[in-house]
Amino acid sequence: MSIRVDGVSKSFGAFKALDNVSLDVPQGTLLALLGPSGSGKTTLLRIIAGLEWPDQGRIEEDGTDITDRHARQREVGFVFQHYALFRHMSVFENIAFGMRVRKAPQAEVKARVDELLHLVRLDNLGSRKPAQLSGGQRQRVALARALAIRPRILLLDEPFGALDAKVRVELRQWLRRLHDEIGMTTVFVTHDQEEAFELADDVVVMNEGHVEQRGKPDEVFDKPATPFVMDFLGNVNVYHGRVENGLAFWHGVPIDYPDYPHAQARAARVYLRPHELDIARAPAGGGPSAGPEGTSLPATVLRQTRTGPITRITCQPSQGGSEFHVDLPSAAARELGLQPGEAVSITPRHVRVFLPDPEYVI
Amino acid sequence: MKSTPPSSPPIRRGRTRTVLPGFGLSAAITSLMIVGLVIIPLAVLILRAASLGPAGFLAAAWTPRARAAYAVSLGASLAAAIISSLLGLLVAWVLVRLEFPGRRILDALVDVPLALPTAVAGLVYSTLYVEKGWLGQVLVPMGIRGAYSRLGIVLVLVFVSLPFAIRVVQPVIESLDKDTEEAARLLGASKSQTFLRVVLPGILPAVVTGFALALARALGEYGSVVFISGNMPFKTEIAPVLIVSRLEEFAYAEATAIAVVLLGMSLSMLIVVNVLQQRLARNAQ
């Protein structure tokens, strides 16, 4: 089942949650709606589910307009962040609920629930109450319950948001495998880029009610379309520099930027990812022009923080200016053995530049 | 210098350590209050009634008139508690789930019956429902007698017990997880299926608690009933009114005997309701 969102807008009072959003989800896609809270991603998901109605625009399923179809008739599987299990019912009855209200014969219900319990690897827990399960198990029950009605599309609202880091990673790998097996069109909402990139075929980055960028995870990560996406993907050093003659300047260090060949200098935001900066100990007695042909920035190490396999080195340019980060594999950082206060030279390997819109040129 | 054995920190036994303040003191005050306010008066009541001896007790507390009064008391209180808990569920639902102008005012009005002297309520109700009253002149020709009747008793008992039924259910409805209702709808449940299968099991324990409180409140009510019921023996005389009329005859022991029977009835009903409520709560958790 393919989904098409066509020019959907939605406001809650004065707050514009969605502003003319259009989106195609081809059959069998696993799509992530990624964005900060308030970006409208959950509202969009709820509109697709039929839990909210758009002020404007249409929702289509395989070319059929379903905008006015009630949630009850949409046949979507929906998984809530906080599971939304029926607390007074056993796991079995939770999963059976959708079939019970459809008055399915008991034998069919039993067979289907057993099949789903097996699918979500909870074979022997059918008689438990939700309160007796762990978070990961509860979310698997919620998923089985959503799948029990044989939905045409599967929608998940921050499905792993309430889980421990370890369970979260396991469960999303499992969900990816499950999706590959059953191939159902799936849309999930997340604010966690790692989750979106690991799980999804397609990532849609949302901000303030509109789509900033849509693409394969690699595309979005390597070619962020807007400053917002660059910022949101995080982990980036931002510098208010300038561009001129095919060069971008970062703390005075020129970096090739062929996209702007003009002689007239323009203010620009220069983005450098911490892992795309090379760091080396400044040669002893070396002046500020250390590094080949002045393409390196002399800087001072402020501190190092190790987060697992990556070590983040915070530096400050020697001539002053805002701090920035350099990421190194922890092994390499240990080998280098930098101490706070040491002089280093930084060489950028890659830079992204966003020019402000022309009307904002100073 | 002599070496001293390493001293280990003293071990305190017999007392669970807690950072929460005032456990000992508050426990003492609580037991003092319960003994002083509840147990001693009840003990005196029972002792006083016991002074009659078994035969005298029966003669005082089990007369035809007394039995009729118990029946009226129990019947009217049960009816009022049932009405209050159903109505209370509805009102609480509306107050929590519906957004409408004046909702906060309505919410505040719920507590008025608790603050108003119930005798005033009884007087107002009887003025309204007598043959020449505002409501009575319409209702009495239709055969509905709201004053000097059992219906009148039920009416004022609903008035005094409704706040309890509402206020017990209201926070439980507030705490309901709307996601589960949406989940039920998405799974294909109709509105009534969603309410009956998903919502109601969660709030039923609170509804039953509200019923118990409303019943207890109704059984003990005197002030409003005495004005609206007409207090006709065998018809509209409730047990508390009978107690007072015995007291007016200076028959103190007889009055306490009736009170003991009333007390026994209320206690046993509350126990039944409590057990039921606990079963439901265990099921709903």
Q: How far is CA A15 from CA A10, A23, A55, A157, B240, in A?
A: 9, 21, 13, 21, 59
Tell me whether residues B186 and A102 touch, CB distance under 8 A: no
Phi first, then psi, for residue B243 (nearest 5°) are -60, -45
Which residues in B lie closer than 8 A to residue A159 (C-beta atoms)? none
Q: Three-state SS string across A38-107, please? A: CCCHHHHHHHHHCCCCCCEEEEEECCEECCCCCHHHHCEEEECCCCCCCCCCCHHHHHHHHHHHCCCCHH
Query: What would the mean pLDDT of B191-214 be, rounded to a whole number?
Result: 93
Q: What is the pLDDT of residue A291?
A: 45
Half-sphere exposure (CA, 13 Å, Cβ side) for A55?
14
* A136/A143 Cα distance (integer angstroms): 11
Q: How many helices (H) and strands (E) does chain B have?
A: 15, 0
Which residues in B lie closer than 8 A to residue A102 (C-beta atoms)? 188
Instruction: Decide if domain A235-360 falls under CATH 3.40.190.10.
Output: no
pLDDT of A275 over the 50 cut: yes
Which of the four pLDDT bands, split at 50, 70 and 90, describes residue B1? Answer: very low
* B240/B135 Cα distance (integer angstroms): 27
What pLDDT, in 10s, does the model give residues A167-200?
888 888 888 988 998 889 999 999 988 889 989 9
Tell me whether residues B184 and A97 touch, CB distance under 8 A: yes
Q: What is the pLDDT of residue B39?
A: 92
Q: Provide the number of CB pairs (under 8 Å) joining chain A to chain B.
A: 69
* A224/A242 Cα distance (integer angstroms): 19
Nearby residues of A328 by Cβ (< 8 Å), 6 or more positions away: A275, A279, A310, A311, A313, A336
Q: For chain A, how big is the Rg over CA atoms in Å?
A: 25
Tell me whether residues A72 and B283 touch, CB distance under 8 A: no
In chain B, which residues touch A (CB < 8 A)?
177, 179-180, 182-190, 193, 197-198, 201-202, 283-285
* B106/B170 Cα distance (integer angstroms): 13
Which residues in B lie closer than 8 A to residue A98 (C-beta atoms)? 187-188
Tell me whether residues B186 and A129 touch, CB distance under 8 A: no
Mutate to test the interface with B, among A101, A109, A153, A158 (most CBs of B within 10 A): A101
* A332/A310 Cα distance (integer angstroms): 9
> Which residue among A49, A51, A102 places its CB closest to the CB of B188?
A102
pLDDT of A359 over the 60 cut: no
Spatial contact of A20 and A68, defined as CB atoms under 8 Å apart = no
Nearby residues of B35 by Cβ (< 8 Å), 6 or more positions away: none
Nearest chain B residue to A146, by CA: B187
Torsion of CA A174, A178, A183, A188, to 10 degrees: -50
Sequence ranges of chain A with CATH classification 2.40.50.140: 235-360
With pLDDT > 90 as the criterion, what percentage of chain A qualifies? 46
From B138, B81, B87, B136, select the one nearest B110 (Cα to Cα).
Answer: B87
From A356, A154, A143, select the one nearest A266 (Cα to Cα).
Answer: A356
Instruction: Go through chain B and tell me how many residues it has.
Output: 285
* A150/B82 Cα distance (integer angstroms): 42
Mutate to test the interface with B, among A88, A103, A132, A147 (most CBs of B within 10 A): A88
Domain parsing of chain B, residue ranges = 36-284
- If you classify domain A3-232 with CATH, what class do you get? alpha beta
What pLDDT, in 10s, does the model give residues A53-102?
999 999 999 988 999 888 888 889 999 999 999 999 999 999 999 999 99
Q: How close does chain A come to B261, measured CA to CA in Å? A: 39
* A349/A10 Cα distance (integer angstroms): 43
Spatial contact of A26 and A61, defined as CB atoms under 8 Å apart = no
pLDDT of A277 over the 50 cut: yes
* A300/B10 Cα distance (integer angstroms): 54
What pLDDT, in 10s, does the model give residues B144-168?
888 888 999 999 999 999 999 999 9
Sequence ranges of chain A with CATH classification 3.40.50.300: 3-232
Strand A352-354 versus strand A266-272 pairing type: antiparallel
A261-265, B112-116, B205-209: the lowest-pLDDT one: A261-265
* B174/B202 Cα distance (integer angstroms): 12
Extended beta strands in A80-192, E state: 153-157, 185-190
* B242/B248 Cα distance (integer angstroms): 10
ipTM of the complex: 0.80
From B184, B196, B202, B200, select the one nearest A146 (Cα to Cα).
Answer: B184
What six digits make up the tokens of A228? 């917002």
Query: At B245, which helix (H) or strand (E)?
Result: helix B239-248
- DSSP class of residue A158 equals S
What pLDDT, in 10s, does the model give residues B236-267?
999 999 999 999 998 888 899 999 999 998 88
Spatial contact of A74 and A49, defined as CB atoms under 8 Å apart = yes
What pLDDT, in 10s, does the model give residues A306-316?
888 889 999 99
Quick one: B36-284 is in which CATH superfamily? MetI-like (1.10.3720.10)
